[in-house]
């Protein structure tokens, strides 16, 4: 991507130069305040605004995205208290232009509408006549219904076009920056429109104020657990669930090290190994290195017995087999082990490098078990962090940890709202 930097006195000047050089569709990548080096030893330099921009890329045809869940709850207040008014839903932005459907689009949508009706009838029939029907299967049908609704929405939007909202320049700048950082357009739009409604015109001219205002709004979206410190149980038992390749075993080792080194707790390690994977041996080797007890289990009876045998330990970290979210057989085997709520804290491990659509599918599929929190790994391999907020808005699951590399135990962070917002808006670099 061709990036170009501008050092200007204000946002208006930046937007004018960017439009002249890169066109009106250019995207703002980042903004920060810098001091020019003038005078002796670089003192007395003038504060400038540095804006990085990129020319618009040609839009690629992409598959249909999966629908978002209901939006985050409303909150109100001021920037001084860290609160700002958000609507009950992110899904239907106010002030958006009405979209009209062409005859061609209506024809395309007819079979989808019929299929929607069929799914509704199926769901209704199942709920009436099959009280004992498996809850997860019912959930899958509901997901399918939601996806069909999303198809209709997308097809409707293709018959019209949504342009950037009419906003003060500072809000428009941050809107583009959030979109470039991976935050879904409708979520970014909702944020800036709510921000505009809750600040004065004078405040909207103050870029640092506007940026902190948006940052505080974003912070209200994210829930956190403070690592394992938010767990209510005296004995902390956590199971790491998720697909292959997201870094569960390494993360289990990092958490075990954190518990031993930072909190001086007695730690035991368990590996659920139904496929004789190399991960179990990797964790066994680590347990030996830190002199922690280690066990391998294959079913729920063994798991319960081993947990009871570790009753004198403060923290028990359970690693699990990695497998595709589309492997229903293994999903249900794992569900047999972790379907109870309360005793074991189930945390889903996701890679920050994954596509939004993949994260949604994984979370839905592994949602056949109670999911208490999320761990995002491989932040060091990602350049855009909006997907973390997209996920938080859709599923409302709290975040417990972030990982930023392979080093044990150093590349582990307890998830915090401030850190997540900084990743998206680059507050610390401003």
- CATH code for position 303: 3.40.50.300
**189 in a structural domain:** no
Yes or no: say if 417 and 222 are a contact pair by the CB < 8 Å rule: yes
Pair 50, 108 in one domain: no
- In the chain the first and final C-alpha atoms are separated, in Å, by 22
**16 in a structural domain:** yes
**84 in a structural domain:** no
Pair 281, 145 in one domain: no
Give dist(CA 138, CA 40) in Å, integer: 72
- Cβ burial 105-143 (10 Å sphere, 16+ → b, else e): beebbeeeeeebeebeeeeeeeeeeeeeeeebeeebeeb
- pLDDT score of 184: 94
Give dist(CA 429, CA 33) in Å, integer: 8
Task: Look at 6-10, 148-152, 232-236 and tell me which has the smallest mean pLDDT.
Answer: 148-152
**Residue 163: pLDDT above 80?**
no
The answer, yes or no, to whether the previous bond of 212 is cis (omega within 30 of 0) is no
| Total domains, the chain | 3
Full-model pTM: 0.67
Quote the domain boundaries for residue 42.
4-54
**Residue 355: pLDDT above 70?**
yes
Domain boundary among 135, 158, 181: 158
**209 in a structural domain:** no
Pair 248, 371 in one domain: yes
Pair 397, 333 in one domain: yes
**227 in a structural domain:** no
Task: Look at 38-47, 103-112, 267-276 and tell me which has the smallest mean pLDDT.
Answer: 38-47
Strand residues in 95-211 grouped as ranges (E): none
**205 in a structural domain:** no
Pair 108, 46 in one domain: no
**337 in a structural domain:** yes
Pair 262, 358 in one domain: yes
Pair 284, 356 in one domain: yes
**96 in a structural domain:** no
Q: What value does the mean pLDDT take over residues 48-64?
A: 64
- pLDDT score of 295: 96
Pair 270, 357 in one domain: yes
Pair 274, 339 in one domain: yes
- pLDDT score of 76: 31
- Cβ burial 197-235 (10 Å sphere, 16+ → b, else e): ebbeeeebeebebbbbbbbbbbbbbbbbbebbebbeeee
């Amino acid at each position: 991507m061709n990036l170009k930097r501008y050092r200007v006195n204000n946002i208006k000047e930046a937007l004018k130069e960017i439009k002249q050089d890169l066109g009106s569709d250019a995207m703002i990548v980042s903004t920060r305040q810098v001091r020019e080096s003038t005078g002796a030893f670089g003192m007395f330099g003038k504060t400038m605004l540095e804006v990085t921009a990129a020319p618009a890329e040609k839009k690629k045809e992409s598959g249909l995205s999966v629908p978002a869940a209901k939006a985050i709850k409303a909150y109100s207040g001021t920037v001084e208290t860290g609160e700002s008014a958000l609507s009950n839903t992110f899904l239907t932005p106010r002030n958006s232009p009405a979209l009209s459907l062409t005859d061609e689009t209506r024809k395309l949508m007819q079979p989808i509408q019929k299929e929607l009706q069929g799914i509704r009838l199926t769901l209704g029939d199942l709920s009436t006549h099959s009280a004992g029907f498996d809850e997860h299967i019912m959930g899958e049908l509901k997901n399918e219904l939601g996806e069909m609704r999303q198809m209709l929405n997308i097809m409707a939007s293709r018959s019209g076009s949504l342009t950037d909202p009419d906003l003060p320049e500072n809000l428009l700048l941050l809107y583009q920056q959030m979109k470039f950082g991976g935050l879904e357009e409708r979520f970014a739009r909702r944020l800036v429109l709510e921000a505009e409604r809750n600040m004065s015109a004078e405040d909207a001219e103050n870029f640092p104020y506007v940026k902190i205002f948006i940052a505080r709004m974003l912070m209200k979206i994210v829930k956190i657990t403070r690592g394992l410190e938010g767990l209510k149980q005296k004995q902390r038992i956590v199971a790491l669930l998720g697909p292959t390749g997201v870094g569960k075993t390494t993360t289990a080792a990092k958490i075990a090290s954190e518990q031993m080194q930072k909190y001086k707790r007695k730690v035991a390690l368990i590996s659920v190994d139904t496929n004789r994977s190399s991960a179990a041996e990797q964790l066994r080797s680590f347990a030996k290195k830190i002199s922690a007890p280690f066990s391998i289990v294959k079913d729920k009876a063994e798991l319960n017995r081993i947990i009871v045998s570790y009753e004198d330990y403060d923290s028990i970290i359970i690693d699990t087999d990695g497998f595709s979210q589309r492997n229903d057989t293994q999903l249900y085997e794992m569900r047999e082990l972790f379907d109870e709520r309360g005793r074991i804290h189930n945390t889903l491990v996701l890679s920050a490098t994954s596509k939004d659509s993949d994260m949604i599918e994984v979370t839905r599929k592994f949602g056949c078990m109670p999911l208490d929190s999320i761990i995002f790994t491989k932040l060091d391999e990602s350049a855009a962090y909006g997907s973390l907020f997209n996920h938080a808005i859709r599923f409302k699951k709290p975040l417990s940890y972030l990982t930023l590399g392979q080093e044990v135990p150093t590349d582990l962070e307890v998830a915090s709202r401030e850190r997540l917002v900084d990743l998206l808006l680059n507050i610390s670099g401003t």
